[in-house]
Every structure is written in structure tokens, then in C-alpha cells.
Amino acid sequence: MASECVARLEKASNEVVRRILTSLCESDAEIEKKVIACLDAFVSELGEYGSHLDGSERQQESEAGTKRKADESLPEVYICRQCGKGFLEEHNNDGACFHHPGYLAVDYESEVWDDWDEPGHGIIDSEESRKNWPDGFKWDCCGETGEGKAGCQYSRHEAMAAKRQKTMDMPKPPVTIDLTED
């Protein structure tokens, strides 16, 4: 069952959805990164976005106030839970994803923590610290710092779980963009 938000988005015109998405991207850098990952999947795998983004079609749709269903000829775009990049399943292979398979652990030997005071600065071992001070962490899979290479292992992309996916109908889940922090 689709959430109320998804149901409302599916009823909205493409122009309304485009404006909402633009506003979200302008106000949240993490959302913008995920949107770029999805757009990059279309560009890199298809060579172009496709006629569904043609400016003249947007103008006609806006003037007529019509609502069109999504172009079903477009491939499904997935977000990889390992590397965070957008991908198309038909181009997924054993070397498509470059990621760290391990855990980003605190490197207590790092100079970042020399003058750290948890009551004043916050908890060291937290998602916020990983994001703001990545050089104070190391990957347990390869020893690389959090600011180091994007990965140490190649594999197939693994799609994030689709929230709208029904267990009885699993072959092609819908486009899913998980905006929650993992």
C-alpha cells in the first residue's frame, strides 16, 4: 500500500512534482545528492533523459492542466545501498559498485580526537561525527580513513529496499529513493 504522500505525488502533474523536487533539492544537500544519483543513472546508462523531460511537453502539460501517467517505457532507477549511486538493473554487473563492505569505526589514534571532550563536543561514535569528522574514522575492511577512497571492493549494486514493494510482486520494484539516514 502506497503512503499518502506517494499517492498524492502520483496524482500531481509533472510540473508540480518537478517544482516540489526542485525546492527540496535547494533546501537539502542530501536530497540533492540522491536526486543527482538518479538523474546520473539515466544519463550514463541511456545517454539522455528521454522525451519525458522535453521542455515543450512540460509546457503543453502545464497549459492544459493535464496529468499523465509515468512513461512505462523508462527503466526502473534504483539507489545502491552500498555506494549510494543510482543504477539501472540491466547494466548492473560484478564490477559496477565500488564500496567498503565493512564498518566505519572510530580511530581513537587520530589527531581529530586529541582535544575532544564528549560533554562539550558530543559523542565521538555517532553518525554526526562520521559525517562531520570522517578523518577520525577508519574502515575495518581495509584500514582506509573515512575521507579516503570511496571503496575497497567491487561487486554488483544492491538496491535499497523498496518501501512500496509487495512481497507477491517482487520482480521489478518501483523507483525508490530512501531519504532517511541509515
In a domain, 74, yes or no: yes
Same domain, 73 and 41: yes
Residue 148 is predicted with a pLDDT of: 81
Share of the chain above pLDDT 90, in %: 30
Residue 116 is predicted with a pLDDT of: 92
For the whole model, what pTM was predicted? 0.55
How far, CA to CA in Å, does 132 sit from each of 38, 73, 90, 122, 139? 25, 41, 35, 12, 16
SS3 content of the chain, % helix, strand, coil (to 5): 40, 10, 50
Same domain, 6 and 51: yes
- The cell for 50 is 528521454
Residue 64 is predicted with a pLDDT of: 53
Same domain, 5 and 59: yes
What total of structural domains would you count in the chain? 2
Task: Give yes or no for residue 69 having a pLDDT over 60.
Answer: no
Residue 180 is predicted with a pLDDT of: 56
Task: Give yes or no for residue 35 having a pLDDT over 60.
Answer: yes
Task: Give yes or no for residue 171 having a pLDDT over 60.
Answer: no
